[in-house]
């Protein structure tokens, strides 16, 4: 996919979905993943994603063109079970298996690369994404569910280098 100024967030979210699936598949788990936040699934585990904040760090002079850096925070949510599911402690135990697998995968793929997308994302800064610490066990209340859900979130900071389009 050729990244453009108008689709770079969409491409980043699509790449994250591939990464999320691969992070747990390598250990024999098969999660679903969605490039948007408002999603639910009959099965667990599954990931959702949402773009949180955008920090424009300003224009910089490139060799032949001016650029702006935009740093977006994407919040990756992993939902692993309903809180009432299974034997007490089972959802937490799964979370403690999944968290290091996902964290390590993100840390080792800072340019949003995966088996399905082996090349770096071209508009992502060469420094790549910064993986913040996962939140640890969280209880999520979602409208439409009779039971709260268990999971955690990762804030990922994605620095994009955006060409400034000037009109003269």
DSSP string covering 51-72, please?
Answer: EEEEEEEEEEE-SSSEEEEEEE
Percent of the chain whose predicted confidence (pLDDT) is above 70: 87
Q: Distances in Å between the alpha carbon of 6 and those of 10, 12, 99, 162, 163?
A: 9, 12, 32, 10, 11
Residue with the bigger pLDDT between 15 and 86: it is 15
Most confident of 42-56, 131-145, 146-160: 146-160
Instruction: Tell the burial category of 138 from Cβ atoms under 10 Å away from its Cβ (0-12, 13-18, 19+).
Output: middle
List the domain range (segments joined by +) for residue 42: 8-163
Query: Is the residue at 42 inside a domain?
Result: yes
Domain harbouring 118, CATH code: 3.30.2000
pLDDT at site 9: 93
Query: Is the residue at 107 inside a domain?
Result: yes
Query: Is the residue at 1 inside a domain?
Result: no
CA distance 51 to 60: 24
Query: Is the residue at 168 inside a domain?
Result: no
Nearest CA to 69 among 51, 55, 86, 80? Answer: 55
pLDDT at site 58: 58
Query: Is the residue at 36 inside a domain?
Result: yes
What residues have CB less than 8 Å from 146, skipping those under 6 apart? none
Indicate the range of 59-68, 127-136, 143-152 predicted with least confidence: 59-68
What is the chain's mean pLDDT, rounded?
86
Q: Residue 41: is its pLDDT beyond 80?
A: no
Query: Is the residue at 58 inside a domain?
Result: yes
State the total domains in the chain: 1
pLDDT band at 167 (very low <50, low <70, confident <90, very high): low
* Strand pairing class (46-61; 66-82): antiparallel
User: Stretch 141-149: mean pLDDT, rounded?
Assistant: 77
DSSP secondary structure string for all residues of the chain? ----TTTHHHHHHHHHHHHHHHHHHTTT---EE-SSSS---SSS-EEEEEEEEEEEEEEEE-SSSEEEEEEEEEEEEEEEEETTSSSTTHHHHHHHHHHHHHHHHHHH-TT---SSS-SPPTTB-TT--EEPPP--SEEE--TT-SS-EEEEEEEEEEEEEEE-----
pLDDT band at 63 (very low <50, low <70, confident <90, very high): very low
Query: Is the residue at 119 inside a domain?
Result: yes
pTM of structure: 0.86
Query: Is the residue at 3 inside a domain?
Result: no
């Amino acid at each position: 996919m050729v990244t453009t100024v108008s689709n770079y967030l969409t491409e980043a979210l699509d790449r994250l979905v591939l990464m999320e699936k691969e992070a747990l598949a390598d250990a024999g788990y098969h999660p679903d993943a969605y490039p948007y936040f408002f999603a639910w699934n009959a099965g667990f585990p599954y990931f959702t994603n949402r773009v949180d904040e955008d920090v424009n760090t300003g224009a910089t002079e490139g060799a032949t063109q001016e650029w702006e850096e935009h740093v977006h925070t994407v919040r990756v949510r992993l939902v692993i079970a309903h809180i009432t599911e299974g034997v007490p402690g089972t959802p937490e135990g799964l979370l403690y298996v999944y968290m290091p697998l996902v964290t390590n995968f993100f840390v080792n793929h800072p340019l949003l690369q995966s088996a399905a997308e082996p090349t770096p994302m071209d508009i992502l800064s060469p420094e790549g994404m910064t993986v913040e610490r996962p939140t640890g066990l969280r209880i999520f209340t979602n409208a439409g569910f009779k039971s709260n859900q268990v999971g955690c979130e990762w804030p990922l900071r994605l620095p994009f280098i955006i060409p400034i389009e000037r009109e003269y």
